[in-house]
Each structure stands twice: as C-alpha cells, then as structure tokens.
Amino acid sequence: MNYDYDAIVIGGGPAGSTFSRVAAKNGMNVLIIDKRREIGVPVRCGEGLGARELVKEGLEIPRSAYSTEILGAKVVAPNGKEIIWKDEETKGYMLERKFFDKWLCELAVDGGAKVLTYTRAVDIIKDNGKVGGVRVVHGAEEPYEIRAPMVVSAEGMEAHIARKMGFDTVHKPYDVDTCYQYEMKPYEHENLIELYFGNDIAPRGYVWIFPKADKKANVGLGIGGNVLNGTKRGGMKGSDPKTLLDNFIENNSQLKDASRLEDFGGVISVGSPLNEFVKDNFMVIGTAAKQVDPIHGGGIALAMESGMMAGQVVADAYSKKDYSSKNLKPYENEWKEGPGKKVHKRLLLRKVVEKLNDDDLNYIFSQISDQDLNKVMKSNFAPAVAKVVAGRPQLVKVLSALIS
C-alpha cells in the first residue's frame, strides 16, 4: 500500500499538536489537518491553564503565548462569602490561545510534522474495511484523499470523524455546559481567577472572571445544558448563558461600565469520557474523547497529556509496523489508570455539588478553609465533608457519595 504519511491527525488544537510533536520526534511522517484558516483562531476558551501542567510536559511557555500569570483563585459563595486560595497549586497562566495553539503546532512542525490549514476531514477512507486515510476538502475545492495507515481524531467537541468510526461522541444536554464569554476592559484584578456560584447567577454552573494583562478579563458563564432555557429565575428573562451573564455584569459595579472587546458562545463536555479510545488504525484524543474536567470544563491540560501518551504509543506501534487496536490499547489503559481516575472523581464531585441549593453552598463556604478546598480539588473530600456534616447532618446523604 502506498501511503502519503505514517499518520494523519485531524485537528491542530493542543491534543493534535502535542500528539504530532511526540510522534514526529519518534521518526513518524505526520500530517496535521485543521479546518480553521489559522491555527488557534477563533478562540473559544476561558484561556486559563495551571502552570504545573506545562512543567509536566517539560515545556517552557514563550512570553507571547500568555497574557498574564495567575497567582491564585477567589471562590465566591451565593451570599458573597469569599475563599481566597493562593499557593503553588493555583499558579498558572492566562493564555493567549491564538498564540499558544500556534506555538504548540509550530513545535510539532519543528519536530518534523506537516500542517495543512483550511482543510476539513469529511470522511474516513477504508481499504477492504481497514482505515487507510481521510477524504478532505480544502476550502470549497473538490474533495481529495490523503492516505495513511493511522488516523487520529483530535477534533475537539465536534468529533465528526470519530463518530463516523463508531465512537459515542454525541453529548446529552446533561453532560455539557453551555457557555458565553466576553473579553472585557477595564477590570481591576489581583491576578486571581474569580469563580462565582449561585443557582440564581448560574444554575448548575458558575461565572468566571479570568484576569488578563492591561486590565482586561475574560468574563464568562457556563450552565448545564439541561437547564438551558429552563424556568425563569429571579426575575431574569431566561436561563440562556448570555442573558444570565449580562445580568451578572449589570449587577457588578466594575463590569457594568466596562467595554466588551470580544464575545463568543461555546459548549464543553462535562460528562464521562468515552468508554473506548482506540480501534484498529484509529484513535481519539483530547476533548474529542470527552477528556475534560467535569468540575470546571478545563480541557487543555488533559488534551496535552492525552496527546503525549497517545503519541508515544503510536510511535511504538509504528516501530512494529502494526497499528492494530491491541498495539494502541496501552494509550487507553494508561489514560484510564492516570488522568481518567481523577476525571471520574471530579464527575462524582460535580454530581454532588449540583444537588446543593444556595443555602447549602453558603453553609459549606462558611465552614471550609482554602486548605480544605485545596484537598477537595485533589479529590481528598473527607476533611471538608466531616466539617460540613458535623454542623449540617442533613447533608450526610448527599455528601456521603464522596467518601463511600
């Protein structure tokens, strides 16, 4: 069989670029295709990333790829009580994703990968039932074929080709957050990520204010897909994320007079990852595989981690010239044993938190410290649960799911 490449990667986001960097460094001839005209543009992201994630990858972020550094987090209860949490764990970067994604992609190119933008994968090619490449369209031109024995879906939320390959990439409304975000200026901040909770503010979700340089901030809101357009709440016009966000802004003394420099809506997976990630000659990585943190909808770090694991496993399969699912399975196993366990604990936490009303949330915020919060975010729930249940035993039924 004559192939054009050893592997074709659909999607030049953090997952696809990281995969390609690793595979190309291991000698593979890799092609990334992306339907966007420019890698990283348009941006549909809050742009927050924990610093330790990059350290884990052994990468030093260039100054152009981030707007400012994050020093910590401020979490605000429905009644306004704040918990400020600042330590090594909460340090991070506010990315400029248009430059960050392009930088990651350029690293792959520097390692030997090739990139084609404005090129959409429209179908998978099969030779006698075996994956042999993808059919693509460049702009509005006629479709053509690019052949490779290995195809990787790093398509993000759409995951159209992965779905064609039989992966369950459809999302139920309950398993997504629908979001709206503005980039706003001026906003005086202390380089903290600010998160605001409350069922009237953001039912089954929260408002985020992420600090950017030059008194700018990404101000966004995400709510559960299942509460979208639900009952009118608190005299508001409706429960769509934009209306709720506008309402929050109107009631915020700083933001109500600030300008909006950019706005967008988006949807992110906050449910269970796919049950399987590989088939013969095909795999799914990053958000396409629903590898997203169900608590905050962060998916950049998980996408990069998945790209690293998958890239190494495919490089091993390449050395054996055998991309059967048996040889690709170590990626799936490694992910499930590592980040997958953390994601499942976060999903459990999400399902518990969404059962709490504002009064419960206010009580919890009055009892726990930043250190308890730190432990909760590391899936060590017991200390916080013990404190809360001691004063509010009626919550034992809901919270016991976290420690059973």
**Interaction of residue 211 with ligand FAD, rule CB under 6 A:** no
Q: How far is CA 173 from CA 226, 227, 266, 267, in A?
A: 5, 8, 13, 10
- List the x/- string, 170-199, binding to ligand FAD by CB under 6 A: ---------x-x------------------
Single residue of 5, 21, 47, 349 touching ligand FAD by CB under 6 A: 47
Pick the piece of the chain touching ligand FAD (CB under 6 A) from 21-29, 285-293, 332-340, 373-381.
285-293
Shortest Cβ 137–ligand FAD spacing (Å): 9
Secondary structure E strands in 154-215: 176-185, 192-196, 206-212
- What is the distance between the alpha carbons of residues 155 and 134, in angstroms, rounded to a whole number? 13
Give me the count of residues in the chain.
404
Question: 10 Å Cβ neighbour count for 106?
Answer: 16
Choices 45-53, 182-190, 375-383, 393-401 (CB under 6 A): range interacting with ligand FAD: 45-53
Strand arrangement of the beta sheet that strand 130-138 belongs to: 119-127, 130-138, 144-147
Q: Does 121 bind ligand FAD (CB under 6 A)?
A: yes
Q: Which residues contact 55 (CB under 8 A, 6 or more apart)?
A: none
Tokens describing residue 379: 């899936």
DSSP codes joined into one string, 288-299: GGT---TTT---
The CB-nearest residue to ligand FAD is 299
Using CB under 6 A, pick the residue from 6, 22, 31, 48 that binds ligand FAD.
48
Question: How many whole angstroms separate alpha carbon 182 and alpha carbon 219?
Answer: 5
- Tell me if 114 contacts ligand FAD by CB under 6 A: no
Tokens of 378: 């590391």
Contact between 339 and ligand FAD per CB under 6 A:
no
Interface mask (CB under 6 A) for ligand FAD, residues 155-174, using x and -? xx-x-xx-------------
CB-based burial of residue 235 (10 Å sphere; 0-12 exposed, 13-18 middle, 19+ buried)? exposed
Give the nearer residue to ligand FAD in terms of CB position, either 116 or 236: 116
Residue 152 makes contact with ligand FAD by CB under 6 A: no
Instruction: Out of 78, 211, 299, 311, name the contact with ligand FAD by CB under 6 A.
Output: 299
Footprint of ligand FAD (CB under 6 A): 10-16, 33-36, 44-49, 120-121, 154-156, 158, 160-161, 179, 181, 220, 266-268, 286-288, 292, 297-301, 303
